């Protein structure tokens, strides 16, 4: 349960901080820059939650004698679950680093930041679709 709270809280928190950062860029650049440490910290909390999630999942599998390993719904769910941090590391981290780089430049390239905003919005939408698919597979065990 703690893993779900950590992952969900950090994911939603990261998205809220990111939205606030992009809404403040045009008004006060210093306020936007002050949000960077939070934006760079939340992925660490997400990784911590995912590791807790993985550990609890392995313990659960052990407790049921690894029965679910051959189930198609479980294999699909596991592949989707692994894709979440991989996409986060490849797309999310790289984009967050680009946001930080662009914010620290003088003058700030606002067009590039708006492109990154659109990229991050797509990233979050796909991540939440993957999570919804995992929840669907867990609830209905289709496959």
pLDDT in tens, the chain (143 residues): 678 888 888 889 999 999 999 999 888 888 889 999 999 899 889 989 999 988 998 998 999 999 988 889 899 999 999 999 999 999 999 999 999 999 888 888 889 999 999 999 999 999 999 999 988 988 887 65
pTM: 0.85
Range of the domain at 117: 2-140
Q: First-to-last CA distance in the chain?
A: 26
Distance CA 79, CA 69 (A): 12
Which secondary structure element, helix H or strand E, spans residue 84, and what is its range? helix 72-87
Q: How many domains does the chain have?
A: 1
Give the number of other Cβ atoms within 10 Å of residue 142's Cβ. 9
């Amino acid at each position: 349960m703690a893993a779900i709270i950590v992952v969900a809280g950090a994911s939603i928190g990261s998205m809220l901080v990111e939205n606030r950062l992009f809404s403040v860029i045009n008004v006060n650049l210093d306020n936007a820059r002050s949000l960077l440490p939070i934006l760079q910290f939340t992925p660490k909390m997400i990784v911590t939650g995912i590791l807790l999630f993985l550990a609890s999942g392995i313990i659960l599998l052990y407790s049921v004698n690894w029965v679910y390993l051959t189930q198609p719904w479980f294999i699909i769910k596991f592949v989707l679950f692994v894709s979440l941090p991989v996409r986060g590391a490849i797309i999310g981290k790289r984009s967050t680093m680009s946001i930080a780089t662009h914010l620290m430049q003088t003058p700030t390239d606002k067009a590039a930041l708006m492109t990154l905003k659109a990229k991050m919005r797509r990233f979050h939408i796909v991540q939440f679709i993957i999570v919804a698919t995992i929840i669907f597979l867990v609830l209905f065990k289709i496959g």
